[in-house]
Every structure is written in C-alpha cells, then in structure tokens.
Structure 1
C-alpha cells in the first residue's frame, strides 16, 4: 500500500522514521477493515495531527478521504471482493488442524503466512551498546561485592573535584604562588555514604576557620582528604594535620619539637657534616664558602632562638622543665598528642589542620592555645565542639550542612545570628526554583511529541539544564537528653568528705585534709590541671576508692549515677543497645529499654544496631541511658562532653539544669561550665577548695600565673 503512504508524504513532511513505519504498517495490515472515512481517521488521524505542522484537522481529514478512496478502488465494496493484489483463498483453512501440516497457499497473506521481519537496527551498534551496559553492570556488581565484604573500618574516603587545567599548567611552570586555597565542585564519599556533593571550599591566607557541623557529617574526613592531598591543592603549600600522637622513642621532648622545623634541622646537619670534612684537613675552598652560606641562612631564620621558642610552646601546653627533658616514650598517649600539637605550632605550616585540639587539654592549656592561635600568621582550619574556643580563635566559620560548605565571616556568635536567616533564604530559593522547574516540566510533558512545539520543547529542556542546582535545606531534629527524676526527695547534705587523705603509693600523697559537701540542689564543677587528681576525687566521691584517712558520709537513700570519661572502652561492643541494657537491668520488656534509649536520642534502628557500629557521640548517649537506668538522684560526670557536638552539649546543659537531683562534673568545656555551674571546686596542690567567683576567678588566676612564669 505504498500509494497510500505516497499520499501522506506528498501532503505532509514527516521526519520521524518511527511514525512513518507505524503508518505504513497500519495501512498495509488493516486496509480491508476500513469501512468508512471515519475508520481511516481513527486509525491514522491523531498521529498525523500530532506529528505535522498542520494547524487544523481539516487537512488531515482530506488526506484520510483520499486514502479511503484509494482503498475503495482496491476492493469491490458491493461484493466484498478484493481487487488487484488482494485475493480470496480457494478454500477455508482451519489453522488448528493444520498445525503440523505443511500448507501451501496460492498467495501470501498477512493473516496466515508469516510476515518477514526486517530489522532497522544497526547490529554492530547494538552489540557495542550491550557490551557497554554489561561493563557498567560488572563494575556495579564489583562495588556491591566489595562493600559487602569489607567492614566499615576498612573503608576509605574517596574524592573527586573539578580542576582548572590553566591553574595546573601555571603552577607547574612555577608561576602560581598564591597561598589561598580554592577547591571547586568536589565530592567526597565514605563507603556508600555521600558526605560532600558539588561542594566548594574557599580559604583565604592568614585567616582562621572554624569547621562546624553535626557529628558524622564528614568534618574529620575533609581534614584527612586535605592533609593527604586527596583533594588537589597547590604543591608549594605545606600542610600539617595534628591527627596522630608522636611515636614514643628515645628522643627528648624538646628535641622532638625542634625536629619539626625540617629546614633548620637540615642546615644544622649539613653544617656538622662540613665541619667533619674540614677537620679531616680537606683543602676544598668550596667547603668554607658553603659553610658561610649556611651560617647566613641560619641567622636569617633565627635558628639560635628556636630552642627558646619550642620551650615556650611546651610550657604553654603544660610541660614542666623536667618533662621537657624526658624522652617521648615516657609520656602517655594524651601527653604525646600534646607533643604533636607542639610540633605543629612550632613548624608553622602554610595550612594548619586541627581536629578537636582541646580534647587533650585542660583549661589552663586551652587558654594559652587560644592566645597563641590569635597571632597565628598563616591559615588554619579547626574542628572543635568547644564553643568558647571557637569564639576566641576563629575569624571565619565554615558550616557543613546538606553536604555543602557555607562560609560566614566573623566570630561564632555572628555565625549563629546569621545562619538561620541564610538557611531560610536558601529554602525559599529552593522552593521557588522547584515551582519554576515543575511549571516548565508540565509544558515539556504536554508537548513532547508535538512537532509544532518541538523547538519550544528543546529550548525549555536547555533552560532546565542551565538552572543552577539548589538542594533543599536538611532539617535536623534537635538532640534530646532527659535525665529521669527520682521519686525520693532528700533534704540537706547528702554527700560529704571529712578530713580525707588519699594516695595510691605511700609517700605520694594526692589529697590531704579534704573537707567538701554537696546536696541535691548542687551544681558543682571541678577544674584543675591535668594530673591534679580530678578523676581520683570523683572516684572517692562515688565510693569506687576508699580514703586512706578520713570519712566519706552519704545519705542512706542516696543513689549515684557515674559517667566515666572512658565509657566507650567499658561498653560491650558485640551486642545491641537494647541487649546491653537488658543484660545490666534484666526482667523488663523491650519497650522500656527502647523508651529509655529514645530519651537520649538512640531511637529507631539505632537501638538495634551493634554498639561497635555507633559513632562516639551515639556511644556516649548509650552510656547516659545506661547510667540513668537505675533512676539515680545524684550524678557524677567525668568529661561528659567528649565526642559530643555543640548542639548535644547544649542539650546536656539543659538536661543537667532540669535534673531534680545533685550534680558534680569535671569538664574543660567553658560554655558548659558557665551554663550549669553554681559552685566551682579547684583541684590541685593536694587539696580541693571552693573557688568564689566561679570560672572568671579561675581564668584570672591562670592569667596571673602566665605573667609570673613569663609566657603569653
């Protein structure tokens, strides 16, 4: 029925080959069923109207009439006989009975004979496309297999970013010496979890950035990718990430810090080598020339002042003159971390990366570090959950939210004032763009197959591609901490120490003549330098340690809940949180255990996951739930803010203030102390004394000490 197609193609120019094949098939296979013009129109009219440039159905109807007239010529409509190529069979054929017989027809028929199938697909292209699909599927299967066989601890972060080739070429030629960091459009994933997507990082030289965000969002991972150059950075930048403690060996602590200045160390080693060669009576004049150059370089970098500078840093971080002469292997892990921090500060890299630097420091060392970093000459990125520290040190804030980095100029307080407004504006912008996108998409879906609007549809598609990608603001649920109230109310003093003396070894007294007391309305914070006995005092108060001399008095109905700073090591890692509570407090139903965990934010599937798979902050919440399961009326908390983000620390402060019982805590988080403290105990010099004036008085005492020993 090619002549019918000629009629259509003569009237309309249809570029779509699929539509042409469809029309040709309909006209060939269903021609004898067309009993009227309306039958022809119903079969081909709609597709012609949607695929041509015709503005009305009149022209389409005319074409349908011509097609029907042409078909009528081929059939004798009066007797139903087919003319020309259409022939009637000599006898009726029963298809079912002839299933296994070979039937020979006098003519071919589309209803009985098999139609020859002609493929319009390029077989080579098809095979190539199938090979690509198989290759992609194999890669996906490999990734899934690796992720299922590897544990979470064996996973590594991966990153990708857009790199400007012009900048790379300029840097390779030695012309690119800027000290700013600009990383555009980068992604970072950890296992199957996407941490950053299309993010940008812009860091200006000489500014100090505080990197903030909820636990588990990727702050530490970002620092690691920067320090290992997993993200592309200018090669001339020196980077130092304080992450691991100094390895213990026979190196003196002061010398370990001096060795971090590699330029000075290399010059000194070369000077020593040249002296040895000259002592061997070498007459090479170039040795004297090179030695003079070394002396000049050492003078330029003030190498003779380096030991004094290193000693000042160590003193500020709490190392006494005697400790500075000790070997690194004699220090514990916490003090080796301080050594690592001292090495970083002394080395003065172009980009300093600090991850929770205050965790291993007491308030005295934190105050010194605040003052030292305020005069830091190069760039620093600091991850910290100590709000007071960030407020004192940082000139800018980088907020990690919704897999993006939002930059804010100014202090942390200024960031808090402008953050909510900026996030609201971003959400409004997202909603407006989404509404605009939806409106365009409706037009595209409506006229996608209309050739009259093809150019408009294409322009709309290009417009959608050019729109900037805006992600919705991730709504984070506020952290929850609620300490249950005990039914029994106790009045007056419930815990008291009278003339208490304590030591682990005879002759090494830690406390003597200690007289302190607390009631159910107490909110007491204990401060003091590391090693002054704060944790030991808490153990004496909760009854874990017995005084060598003196008496510990407690109310008969006093029930103490104790949170240790090493709670993570004390939890059973191979069980779920619900099973952990059930093993410690058997005989209750799962609903009660889950309700208890939910009171501390460990809800839903988190409660059914193994404790080992939880983050540090989530493990702290489990420890809080375990501690309060017995409904204590007195809480003793040792460094409860470790592993907690700022939002959770705020929630902890509110929970402590709302608790209907007594609280004694040890903390170096100045904001938490200001939030809950009603009485401050100073621990040191073998005593525990109440300090009038609270944290402000303690800070003044430390500042006076700094002036007295000659450090800033």
Structure 2
C-alpha cells in the first residue's frame, strides 16, 4: 500500500513520528506474513488490523478517517492473503521442500549462494529435518576467533561487555580448569624480573549481558601486594567486575597471573589433596614436561648407538639433546622458584586450616557436599598463589574457625588480593584498602579498613551535603538580588556583577542519598521459665557414634546466644533437637507449652515461590490476613512499595532473605532460631538485622560466621566441638584468639 505515511498523517494529524513509524513497520510485517506459507495459516487479519486501529485512535486519530484507513488496510492485506492461498493450492507448501541440486550446482560459489537460497524461497538458516549431522566447524577455533573480535571491538570503543558468541558454541561444554587457566595465564619462560605487577586501567565502561551499564568512565588501580575490599549495595555489579578481571576482559598485563574463586569444584574421583596439587597447572605441566623430556633423552641415547660417531644423524640427535637439556634446565629453575618440593605439605596445611581432616583429604572430591567443594575451590586458589587473587564472598561458605584461618593466611599473602565481602570483621582484618562501588564509579579509600572507610564515607557525605546546601543557598541569594535589581539603573552594575559570579560557580551534583532499611521483629508476650532447656541430652543416629553427648544448655526470653564451631560438629543437629525435629537418645528437652519459635534457614529462602509476588506467596503460605496487612508486615522488613507486588525472581538475594524473615515472624514467635541469617545481606541489611535483633523482646539463638553481627547482638557464646556443646567463657573475639592459638600450636597458620 503506497503513501501509508501520508494516509496516517491524514487520519491522525497529531500522531507522534515514533508511533507512525511503528504502524508502518507493523503493516510491512503483516504484508510479509501473508506471503509466508506457515505464517499465513496462523494469521488473523481482523485482530491484527483492529490492533492498528486502536493504536491510531489512542494517538489522537479522527474516528471516521481511522475507520476508513483500517478498512483499506484490511482489504489490501486480504487480497495478498487470498492470492497466496490460491498459489499454495497449485504448488503446495514449498517451505518443506528439499533443495534442488541442479539449482545449487548453478550457484555453487560463495558470491551467489545467498541468491540460490533466495530462489528456493529460503530466508535464514536451512532447517535440517533428516539425520542430525555434526558440524565440521572447529568450535574451539571459532570461539577463539570470536573472542579476539570481541576484544578488538571492546578496545576500540573502550567498552567492555559480556560477549554473545556464535550459537554453534555449546555453552554447556565449558573448558576444563587446566585449559582455561593456561589460556588466561600462559606459561612464560621469559624473565618477568623488573616488570611491575601493579594494575592501572584508565577510563573504561563495563556492562552486563543485557546492556545495563554498571561502570562509566571508571579507573581501576591496584598496587601489588595490597589487599582490596570491594563494597557496595547488592546488585551494584561487584561480582561482574571480578569476572571481567578474571577473564582479562579488562586490560590486565599478561605477565600477571589471575585466579578467581566463584563456583564450587566439580566432583570426580580425584582425591581432595591431589585436586589441590593439580590446581597449580604450571607445576603440573612442568612436571609432565620434565618426565617427557627425560624419556626422550633416554630414547636419544639409545638411538645414538645405532649410528656411527660423527655421522649426520648423530649430530642431529646431539643438537636435539642439547635443546632438551637447556629446556630441562629452565623447567628445573621454574620448579625451584615455585618450591615444588614443598607443594604437598603446603596443600595439606591449607586444607587442614579450612576444616579438612587428614582422613578427609584422602577422600574423592565427589564425596563432598556443595559447601565443602566451595572450600576446595578456595584451597586450590590459595595453593596456586596467583599474582592477583579474586575472592567473591569467601566467608559465606566458611565457619568461624575457617574464617579466622583464612584471615590470618591472607594477612601474609605476598601478592594482590581483591575480595568482595559484606563481612565487616573479615574486611577489618584483611583489607589494606577499600574500593566503594556506587553510581557507576569506583571510589578509593587507601590505607583504610572497613570501619575507617565507613566513618570517612559518612564524613564525606556530610561535607558534600553541607557544601551543596550552602551553594544552593548562595545561588538563591544571588538570584534574588539579580531578579530584583536587573532593570534598576542605579543597581544594574551590581546585578551584572552577581550574574558573573553566578555563572562562575561550579555546578555541584546533589549528594547521593544513603539507602536505609529498617527491620522490626514483632513484640511477643512474656512466658514463664523454663522456655527451652536441655538436660544431659545425648543424640546420635546410633548409640556407638554420638553427635551430641551430655549437653546442658537453656534459652530464656532475654537470651542472645551465638552457636559457633567448625562445620560438621553438630550445630544443625542441636538446632533440630531444640526444635523437637529429632528425639534425643537420652536426657530431657523441656519446653514451655505456649512457646512459639521462628526458625530461619537458607532452605526457607530457597523454598520461596519465585513466580509469585511476596504478598501472594504469603497469603497462600500463611492465610488469614488481608493484602494490606501482608504489605504492612513486609514493610517492617524493608520490602516496601512495589517490591511486595513484583515477582520474587526479580528481587535480590538480600530482598528474598527479608521476605523469609517477614514470613517466620507472622506467628509472633517468642524465640528466634537463625541459621546463617547474614548470608546475602549487604551492609544496610546487616545493620537493619543487627538493630532489629537487639530490640527484639524475645530470645535469640543464631548460628553465624559473621563476627561483627555476633559481637553486636550476642552476649553469650556456645561452642560446639568434640561431640558436645558448652558455654564459652568470653566474647567472640576471645573465641577467635583461642582458635588461632590452637592453630598456631599445630603449625597450621604460619606457613609462608
């Protein structure tokens, strides 16, 4: 239909150009669909034209003109559709026909293959309906070539974005660890002496896969040997930055080795200790080369005896032997530099510090759960000692003893460490510098731990706010004078002077508003003791192997208890006994009959129906209230406004945790039992949780690895070890010193 744009303007004179272009494009799409065998069968012209009609009417179209144009569009498309159906009755559906080999032979070169496909009515990829054939394309080479293209484009535009490679590359067939490590960190026999291992990347943009920008004109500066903590709100892009560094999508010098701990180790029959040794791919490859070279030298010595001395063959063999010996010497120097002979002892020490007993180090990796495999990934990274070690929330997978060990280990780490974490105590001990990621930029707080950074940031924000408010007041004062005396002859010169002052004032951005969250656990009615009491309780799945033995503890309405200890020592078992999910083999569990318990575990977060909104899910899981009451209750945990009404799959990990906290409080519990409540919460969420627990009128028992939360909330420490649970005489910091003294005595920590 010609001059459609003109007719649209006639029907709707005030139509926006964007809407007009959309209508024209939509009509062209319908026109093409009427000529397509498959689409024409599914096409409902009446509905499609009505859609355009309603669109034009909503754009301010005249009713009569819009109606007239709609009829013309319908008639035009109907004619095309009828013609196509008539043609199909004669020729049949050509979309499923095999290619005519004669046509292909007459168009058999690269320049006109597209013409051949066009003649045959094929637009796009050829659909193969017969036996599935494997592509002859070398997928590894294709992936490598496309990554080179992506890197060139990124470098040219100074933008780094997650690259979508060819659909031929099966993303599930990821490279094994060795191949990926060597690709990121190629083994270089050239001397790296004298080369700086500082990292300076000037003015780059960073995007995530959907095109959302997380950094704009940012600068990354990492001094070798420093330990950087990256902090910021959930979802700000901290993990994306680490991933870009780990894959060298950012311009990190080639002589700097990188390793990133971001996912758990894939389990197989490899022993835990061997899997850590294998993580040092350079050492593994050098040892393998050493064996192969020695075997070849033996072969040469044998072959040499078969030829006459001084012959051409002997000279060739001697030359080869000399080259091999030179390379063998280089390998030996490399192995000495990396202290290869001490590798096994160092790997065993790291594993022991992270909670692996001597026996468990000899177990296959597939026998460990996900949390322990994450520890194996961390152990492998620590063993490799890369120049740039990247850690993403490492404390989430560790217990307090393991975090204490990791903190001590990293304090003496000889290279650069970048860690994303919300654990204040961990950052206070480990970080030498803080990088604050916000508003698409990176702010550096050099020589500061987390507490110093937080205080400095608060002071900066206050100063920025004060400066902004003072300038706005000064601008207002100048503007008022200008407006009053601009046209006054006696004061015009002064008004002009103030105009110049106003123009010279720097333009200040309004200071960033700090996001605050408030939690509030509901007040509960008082109960008379005993609330919960365990007397001489023993438990085990058989009497010969007890997990708990002669435990005597109690929880009161004013209790603030932290349960700590190594993973696997019975903490979760004790919680289940307290909840009466497990019955003790001996002893007594006394509970007030009116007692209501709120029990939080990571399982509660995982069990949320992510396709529903928080309000809908709570109304189904905990019926009996109105939507307004559910929204008000969610608001007490920072899920305000539209957050309670949108699908939970769109919420961050911290927001999902807050929904789970809100749910466990719907029955007004007298005691809160919390298993790792701090996971996924950012700094604002942790502050809110800490304050809410301190103000709660009931009792609290928490299993947590976050020393800052424990120190702020808990007045009593229970330690689970050697099959028992006992009160610890001291604070959480005293307990950490106790752990480190024991580790020091065993020679676990001092290993550099």
Q: How far apart are the structure 2 equivalents of 1:232 and 1:651?
A: 39
Task: Select 2:288's aligned residue among 256, 269, 272.
Answer: 269
Q: How far apart are the structure 2 equivalents of 1:357 and 1:373?
A: 12
Task: Select 1:244's aligned residue among 256, 263, 267.
Answer: 263
Q: Is the 8 A contact 1:207 1:379 kept in 2?
A: yes
Q: How far apart are the structure 2 equivalents of 1:279 and 1:595?
A: 80
Q: How far apart are the structure 1 equivalents of 2:680 and 2:154?
A: 25
1:695 partnered with 2:732: yes
**CA drift at 1:683:** 0.8
State the match for 1:566 in structure 2. 603
State the match for 1:478 in structure 2. 516
Q: Is the 8 A contact 1:162 1:184 kept in 2?
A: no
State the match for 2:181 in structure 1. none
Q: Is the 8 A contact 1:527 1:682 kept in 2?
A: yes
Q: How far apart are the structure 2 equivalents of 1:436 and 1:282?
A: 93
What are the within-5 Å matches in structure 2 for residues 164-175 of structure 1?
Answer: none
Q: How far apart are the structure 2 equivalents of 1:434 and 1:303?
A: 65
Q: How far apart are the structure 1 equivalents of 2:260 and 2:421?
A: 14
1:556 partnered with 2:593: yes
Q: How far apart are the structure 2 equivalents of 1:467 and 1:183?
A: 32
- Larger Cα Rg: Structure 1 or Structure 2? 1
1:185 partnered with 2:185: no
Q: How far apart are the structure 2 equivalents of 1:525 and 1:256?
A: 34
State the match for 1:636 in structure 2. 673
Task: Select 1:230's aligned residue among 249, 254, 269.
Answer: 249
Q: How far apart are the structure 2 equivalents of 1:380 and 1:601?
A: 33
State the match for 2:232 in structure 1. 213
Q: Is the 8 A contact 1:691 1:697 kept in 2?
A: no
1:534 partnered with 2:553: no
CA change 1:521–1:177 in 2 (3 A) is same
Q: Is the 8 A contact 1:213 1:400 kept in 2?
A: yes
Post-superposition Cα deviations, 1:475-518, rounded to whole Å, max 9, x if no partner, equal 1331111000113x113321011222222355332112222111
State the match for 1:421 in structure 2. 459
CA change 1:590–1:159 in 2 (3 A) is farther
State the match for 1:95 in structure 2. none
Post-superposition Cα deviations, 1:355-404, rounded to whole Å, max 9, x if no partner, equal 10111111111111111111111111111111011000111111122222
Q: How far apart are the structure 1 equivalents of 2:330 and 2:234?
A: 51
Q: Which stretch of structure 1 is more off in the superposition, 218-227 or 588-597?
A: 218-227
Task: Select 2:533's aligned residue among 496, 503, 512.
Answer: 496
Post-superposition Cα deviations, 1:330-352, rounded to whole Å, max 9, x if no partner, equal 21111111111111112122211
**CA drift at 1:671:** 0.9
Q: Is the 8 A contact 1:210 1:390 kept in 2?
A: yes
Q: Is the 8 A contact 1:161 1:183 kept in 2?
A: no
State the match for 1:74 in structure 2. none
What are the within-5 Å matches in structure 2 for residues 379-528 of structure 1?
Answer: 379-409=416-446, 410-427=448-465, 471-487=509-525, 489-505=526-542, 507-528=544-565
Question: Which secondary structure state, in structure 2, belongs to the residue aligned with residue 336 of structure 1?
Answer: helix
Q: How far apart are the structure 2 equivalents of 1:214 and 1:350?
A: 27
Q: How far apart are the structure 2 equivalents of 1:469 and 1:369?
A: 46
Q: How far apart are the structure 1 equivalents of 2:743 and 2:156?
A: 46
Task: Select 2:276's aligned residue among 247, 257, 261.
Answer: 257
**CA drift at 1:437:** 10
Q: How far apart are the structure 2 equivalents of 1:292 and 1:270?
A: 12
Question: Which secondary structure state, in structure 2, belongs to the residue aligned with residue 195 of structure 1?
Answer: strand
Q: Is the 8 A contact 2:609 2:617 kept in 1?
A: yes
TM-score calculated relative to the size of structure 1: 0.70
1:609 partnered with 2:627: no
Question: Which secondary structure state, in structure 1, belongs to the residue aligned with residue 737 of structure 2?
Answer: helix
Q: How far apart are the structure 1 equivalents of 2:570 and 2:382?
A: 28
**CA drift at 1:252:** 2.0
Question: Which secondary structure state, in structure 1, belongs to the residue aligned with residue 397 of structure 2?
Answer: coil
Q: How far apart are the structure 2 equivalents of 1:532 and 1:475?
A: 44
What are the within-5 Å matches in structure 2 for residues 73-152 of structure 1?
Answer: none
Q: Is the 8 A contact 2:515 2:684 kept in 1?
A: no
Question: Which secondary structure state, in structure 2, belongs to the residue aligned with residue 566 of structure 1?
Answer: helix
What are the within-5 Å matches in structure 2 for residues 344-355 of structure 1?
Answer: 344-355=381-392
Q: Is the 8 A contact 1:396 1:411 kept in 2?
A: yes
Q: How far apart are the structure 1 equivalents of 2:201 and 2:565?
A: 42
1:326 partnered with 2:363: yes
State the superposition RMSD in angstroms: 3.5
State the match for 1:305 in structure 2. 342
**CA drift at 1:269:** 0.6
Q: Is the 8 A contact 1:215 1:645 kept in 2?
A: yes
Q: How far apart are the structure 2 equivalents of 1:382 and 1:418?
A: 20
Q: Is the 8 A contact 2:529 2:592 kept in 1?
A: no
Q: Is the 8 A contact 1:213 1:401 kept in 2?
A: yes
1:681 partnered with 2:718: yes
Q: Is the 8 A contact 2:539 2:549 kept in 1?
A: yes
Q: How far apart are the structure 2 equivalents of 1:426 and 1:361?
A: 39
Post-superposition Cα deviations, 1:238-262, rounded to whole Å, max 9, x if no partner, equal 2211101111122222222222223
**CA drift at 1:429:** 5.9
TM-score calculated relative to the size of structure 2: 0.66
Task: Select 1:583's aligned residue among 615, 620, 630.
Answer: 620
State the match for 1:339 in structure 2. 376
Post-superposition Cα deviations, 1:391-420, rounded to whole Å, max 9, x if no partner, equal 001111111222221101222222122112
**Structure 1 residues without counterparts, runs of 5 or longer:** 1-129, 139-155, 165-173, 444-459
Q: How far apart are the structure 2 equivalents of 1:368 and 1:198?
A: 38
State the match for 1:72 in structure 2. none
Aligned length: 536
Q: How far apart are the structure 2 equivalents of 1:564 and 1:175?
A: 51
**CA drift at 1:301:** 2.8
Q: How far apart are the structure 1 equivalents of 2:549 and 2:378?
A: 34
CA change 1:593–1:404 in 2 (3 A) is same
State the match for 2:139 in structure 1. none
Q: Is the 8 A contact 1:399 1:406 kept in 2?
A: yes
CA change 1:293–1:572 in 2 (3 A) is closer
State the match for 1:625 in structure 2. 662
**CA drift at 1:268:** 0.7
Q: How far apart are the structure 2 equivalents of 1:545 and 1:470?
A: 62
Q: How far apart are the structure 2 equivalents of 1:263 and 1:320?
A: 27
Q: How far apart are the structure 2 equivalents of 1:495 and 1:570?
A: 27
CA change 1:415–1:616 in 2 (3 A) is same
**CA drift at 1:233:** 2.5
